Amino acid sequence: MKSVTDYLWFNTSKAREFVNITGQVEELVRRSGIVEGCVLVSAMPITAGVYVNDAESGLIADIEEWLEHLAPYRPGYRHHATGESNGDAHLKSLLVHHQVVVPITRGKPDLGPWQQVYYAEFDGRRRKRVVLKAMGE
Amino acid sequence: MKSVTDYLWFNTSKAREFVNITGQVEELVRRSGIVEGCVLVSAMPITAGVYVNDAESGLIADIEEWLEHLAPYRPGYRHHATGESNGDAHLKSLLVHHQVVVPITRGKPDLGPWQQVYYAEFDGRRRKRVVLKAMGE
Amino acid sequence: MKSVTDYLWFNTSKAREFVNITGQVEELVRRSGIVEGCVLVSAMPITAGVYVNDAESGLIADIEEWLEHLAPYRPGYRHHATGESNGDAHLKSLLVHHQVVVPITRGKPDLGPWQQVYYAEFDGRRRKRVVLKAMGE
């Protein structure tokens, strides 16, 4: 089994931001030379998510509004007793999940025609990392 | 490392439908000859999900109602400016997640006694695909 | 490809409980001798979840309250016609997801500084299992 690991760094200028990282995933798969296998794409902070969906700006705004509705930014989370103010970001991370596994088939990410891989930052303006690990043969 | 890939096609008659695909996952694992490893089961459209839970019709109706409550079908999603009317289906897909990894132990899917693998269609009446990729030895 | 499987058993005294299992995941990775790969951590019951987030008691209370808000314990789920009263636990399981994949790099779980692996019990006082499967080389 071949395995290649890479890390993507983010430091978004906004508190919340959705970054399309499909190109970086494709690049790692190409570089790995893996023909059959998968690549794990996993956020390392606990206030961010990784998901697969559409690269359509209206939908991305819908997702942001929806997450805000279900896991609102507000005072009063118990977690804020630690000095943080990002309780909502932890809940948003749980809601969209923090990772995806992208299959690799015939040397390429085996994604549907509209599937794009997104890093979802919910508590930006800090340095954050995503680990990419391609595994296969 | 051995790797076997298969695709399941769906074209549900209803807009929303929950299809038990545990049998197809078992069949691929059997066919692959893999004794130890895992099988990735991943929806390729962005308006469908794959999850593991109970094959109980009352619960499935509960899940459908609950998803409708948290991510309602309605006009007004920004995504609809593209001509689509399926904004809710994208959100439902994010909520249940679009994939699962089923472990393979001693040549079989290593599932709990009640765990069943479901394809959850949220925007049917179109041709959709699920990729199954078994990996291991 | 090397593969090592283990099962963790739980029988929580409370209906809902969040158990930090990071130590057990680390222990399996050490024992496996795998240097590059990943470990799947997956709940086998359908009324529990596995997630990665912070080991901070305030946040854990926030998560519990939030899950109760989005998927409340209540009578009236159709699933209860089977004699069960745990409809909410199935929905909570779907919401946080039932599994994570932890990358293994240089012989260790490749987690962010605050990432901890949690077993989230939503219908305790019964024997439940989590499967850990490390795969790699």
Amino acid residing at A74:
R
- The alpha carbon of residue C123 is apart from the nearest alpha carbon of chain B, in Å, by 14
pLDDT for C76: 97
Give the pLDDT band of residue C44 (cuts 50, 70, 90).
very high
pLDDT for B124: 97
Stretches where chain A sits below pLDDT 50 are none
Dihedral of CA atoms B128, B78, B82, A58 in degrees, nearest 10, equals -80
Its pTM stands at 0.98
Contact yes or no for C134/C46 (Cβ under 8 A): no
Q: Give the tens place of pLDDT for each residue, B7-51.
A: 999 999 999 999 999 999 999 999 999 999 999 999 999 999 999
HSE value, Cβ hemisphere, 13 Å, CA-based, for C65: 13
Q: Give residues with Cβ within 8 angstroms of A94, minimum separation 6.
A: C51, C53, C63, C95, C96
Give the C-alpha separation, C116 to C56, whole Å: 10
- Tell me, letter by letter, the H, E, C secondary structure of A58-121: HHHHHHHHHHHHHCCCCCCCHHHHHCCCCHHHHHHHHHHCCEEEEEEECCEECCCCCCEEEEEE
Measured CA to CA in angstroms, residue B75 lies from A9, B88, C121 at distances of 37, 9, 37
Provide the angle, in degrees to the nearest 10, between the axes of the packed helices A87-96 and B87-96.
Answer: 100
Residue-wise burial string across A43-53, b where 16 or more C-beta atoms lie within 10 A, e elsewhere = bbbbbbbbbbb
pLDDT for A69: 98
pLDDT for A91: 98
Give the C-alpha separation, A130 to B112, whole Å: 31
**Of A119, A112, A108, which Cα lies nearest the Cα of A39?**
A108
Mean pLDDT value of segment C85-99 = 98
Sign of CA dihedral C37, B43, C90, C65: positive
Q: Which chains touch A (3 or more CB pairs under 8 A)?
A: B, C
Q: Give the tens place of pLDDT for each residue, C122-131.
A: 999 999 999 9
Burial of residue B126, with CB atoms counted within 10 A of its CB: 0-12 exposed, 13-18 middle, 19 or more buried: middle
Amino acid residing at A117:
V
* Cβ atoms within 10 Å, residue C17: 18
**Of B60, B59, B71, which Cα lies nearest the Cα of B19?**
B60
Contact yes or no for C89/C109 (Cβ under 8 A): no
Chains A and B form CB pairs within 8 A to the count of 84
pLDDT for B30: 98
- Provide the chain C residues 69-88 that lie in CB contact (below 8 A) with chain B: 70-71, 77-82, 87
- The alpha carbon of residue A79 is apart from the nearest alpha carbon of chain C, in Å, by 5
- The alpha carbon of residue A81 is apart from the nearest alpha carbon of chain B, in Å, by 29
pLDDT for B10: 97
pLDDT for B58: 98
Measured CA to CA in angstroms, residue B58 lies from B19, C76, C81 at distances of 14, 11, 8
Q: Are residues A96 and B99, on separate chains, in Cβ contact within 8 Å?
A: no
pLDDT for B101: 98
Asked if the C-beta of B51 comes within 8 angstroms of chain C's C-beta atoms, the answer is yes
DSSP reduced 3-state for C79: helix
Q: Are residues A40 and C103, on separate chains, in Cβ contact within 8 Å?
A: yes
Q: Please tell me what DSSP assigns to residue B86.
A: -
Contact yes or no for B40/A101 (Cβ under 8 A): yes
Asked if the C-beta of C126 comes within 8 angstroms of chain B's C-beta atoms, the answer is no
pLDDT for A86: 98
Give the C-alpha separation, B100 to C135, whole Å: 16
pLDDT for C71: 98
